[in-house]
Structure 1
Amino acid sequence: MGRVEQAGKAVAELGQNIGDYIRQQRRHAQISLRQLARLAGVSNPYLSQIERGLRRPSAEILQQIAKGLRISAEALYVRAGILEQREGGPVVDAVLADPELTERQKQVLLDVYQSFRRENAAARPADQEPEE
């Protein structure tokens, strides 16, 4: 497979991954496709195409969808490949994606989590690898 085909396949997979993630978050929030489309200010068919991986949304559309889902836009940007994943991996993603937390609560939790990680890294011998 050539480089162009590989790049095209990677973009298609990103679109599918972000669509799956949006669908999962929408279902978790118990919001219908139609409701989320209205909240995000996009058409019902367009949102459906995003969820099915047929369309790759812009950062602006992702922000609108995140607002409609009441989750962090950053979590969607990471899933879409627009931003690199922050240090901390799945813990950070889970906190950012939790619709039950306010933005302020998410930031406080992440600050505490990062302080624990820094503290543990400082206490770890230089030759010891961190556990994931």
Structure 2
Amino acid sequence: MTVALISEEPIDERIVREAVGSDAHGAIVTFCGVVRDHDGGRAVQALDYRAHPDAQRFLEEIVARVGAETGMPVAAVHRVGDLRIGDVALVAAASAGHRAEAFAACERLVEEIKSGVPIWKRQHYDDGVSEWVGL
């Protein structure tokens, strides 16, 4: 089962993990990107994630490509909308026969999602200012 999804709903981490599970793989690595309360020395209250209309297609292509190139099952869900401190914004997972390969595939997947999926983040700071980050 391939999982590559942009969602406005809270992420069910179990679905992402189960998507990569296999009796043949002894290692499953899961990454959870969580909204933190600071960035660049400034206190953050909340985030808005907004996605390009084609973001789902970009995510699907990245998941398929990383899976094909590594030969490992990978999956990811990225949340969009209004998120609060502690909310999970991204869950990515990979499985392999051994942990080193699973860690490497999961890290590669996360890096490619961050650089290749058109999702933008607006941070709301404690001082009332908000700004788009990473545009």
Structure index of larger Rg: 1
Bigger RCO of structures 1 and 2 (CA < 8 A, at least 6 apart): 2
> Of Structure 1 and Structure 2, which has the larger fraction of its residues in helix?
1
Calculate the TM-score normalised by the size of structure 1.
0.30
> Of Structure 1 and Structure 2, which has the larger fraction of its residues in strand?
2
